[in-house]
């Protein structure tokens, strides 16, 4: 069963995302959490995660720097990354995709929007 890494500097947002996924019927076995890009990089490389959800604006290492670092490392290139962020606009979405993100969801989001976005990467019960 899939393991999902949630990288967000807000513990509340990590809980909301986790709860929404659990209630959505998407199949997830375990959640791993990180509070910034640097911690996210450690967790992504030391855990066998199947999907990464990543905020953009965070202390220490931003989400976009995390994506560039993970993709640039040559490791875990097959793990899909979905940016979940308040950063909207075409240029940001383009930048994220060009850096190696596979999906993009802007906050605030409804549970249905999250399910629809993650449904591309996770199976439904």
Partner 1 sequence: MAAIEGVIESIASDITSSTKTLFETMIMLDLKYDESSLVDETQIKTDVIGMVSFTGKYHGVIGLFCSKRFALKVASTMLMTELSEFTNDVKDAVGEVSNMIAGNVKTKLTAQYGDMNLSIPIVIAGEGLSITAVNNHPVVSDTTLSCFSKDPWLMTPFISGGEKFNVGLLLKESIK
Q: By the criterion CB under 8 A, which residues form the site for partner 1? A: 9-13, 15-16, 19, 57-59, 85-89, 91, 106-110, 113
Instruction: Choose between 15 and 76: whose C-beta lies nearer to partner 1.
Output: 15
- Least distance from partner 1 to the Cβ atom of residue 105, Å: 12
108: preceding bond cis by omega (within 30 degrees): yes
- Least distance from partner 1 to the Cβ atom of residue 50, Å: 25
Contact yes or no for 83/96 (Cβ under 8 A): yes
Instruction: Choose between 13 and 32: whose C-beta lies nearer to partner 1.
Output: 13
- Least distance from partner 1 to the Cβ atom of residue 97, Å: 17
Instruction: Choose between 59 and 72: whose C-beta lies nearer to partner 1.
Output: 59
Q: How, if at all, do strands 81-85 and 51-54 pair?
A: parallel
- Least distance from partner 1 to the Cβ atom of residue 79, Å: 25
């Amino acid at each position: 069963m899939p393991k999902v890494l949630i990288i967000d500097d807000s513990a509340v947002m990590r809980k909301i995302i986790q709860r929404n996924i659990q209630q959505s019927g998407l199949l997830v076995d375990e959640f791993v959490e990180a509070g910034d890009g640097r911690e996210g990089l450690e967790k992504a490389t030391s855990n066998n995660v199947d999907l990464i959800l990543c905020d953009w604006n965070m202390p220490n290492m931003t989400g976009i720097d995390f994506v560039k670092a993970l993709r640039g490392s040559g490791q875990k290139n097959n793990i899909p990354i979905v940016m979940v962020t308040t950063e909207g606009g075409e240029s940001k979405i383009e930048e994220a995709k060009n850096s190696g993100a596979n999906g993009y969801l802007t906050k605030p989001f409804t549970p249905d929007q999250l399910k629809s976005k993650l449904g591309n990467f996770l199976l439904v019960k």
